Amino acid sequence: MTEPTVVVAAALQESGRLLAARRSAPPELAGRWELPGGKVEPGEDPERALVRELREELGIGAELVERVPGEWPLKPGYVLRVWTARRLSGRPRPLEDHDELRWLGPDEIWSVDWLDQDVPAVRAVLAALAPR
C-alpha cells in the first residue's frame, strides 16, 4: 500500500483572528474557503513544506507553533495535517490559488463556506487555541 500524500495547512493567528483563504481553482473548489497550505513534495519535510507554501501562496515568512492533533481525509490518497503558525514577515496577499483572504474574528469563523474537509480541521484548531 502506498502512503497517502500529505497536505499541510496553517492556522495563522493574529490578534485573536484566524486567516482564511478563498480558493480560485480548481473550478469544483473555487469560492470555498480553506486554511492555506498545499502538498508536501516527495522527500520534503512536512513542516518545511508548510513554511514554503505560506511563502509561495501568501508571500509571508512564518514559523510553525505546534501541530494541531488529528489528520483529516481529503480526496482518496490525500490527508490533511494542520499546524498553528505565526507570521514573521510580510503582509499576506493571495498570490497563488486564492482570490481573497480574510482574518476571521471569533464570531466570524463560521461565516465563510469552508471546504467540507476543512470543517473538522477548523474545529480542531479552535479546540487547540481555546484557553487552557
Q: Which is nearer to ligand CDP, 84 or 117 (CB)?
A: 117
Q: How many CB atoms lie within 10 A of CB 84?
A: 17
**Beta carbon of residue 24, minimum distance to ligand CDP (angstroms, whole number):** 11
The H or E element spanning position 69 is strand 61-73
Q: For ligand CDP, give the closer residue by CB, 98 or 132.
A: 98
In the complex, least distance from residue 56 CB atom to ligand CDP, rounded to whole angstroms: 7
Residues that bind ligand CDP (CB under 6 A): 7, 9, 29, 34-35, 37-39, 74, 78, 80, 97, 115, 117-118
Name the residue with the smallest CB distance to ligand CDP.
Answer: 38
Which residues are CB-neighbours of 68 under 8 A, at least 6 positions away?
A: 11, 81, 82, 83, 84, 121, 124, 125, 128
CB of 38 to ligand CDP, least distance (A): 3
Local structure of 78: helix, strand or coil:
strand
Please state, in angstroms and as integers, the Cα–Cα distance from residue 15 to each residue in 55, 95, 106, following that order. 21, 23, 11
Smallest gap from Cβ 17 to ligand CDP, in A, equals: 17
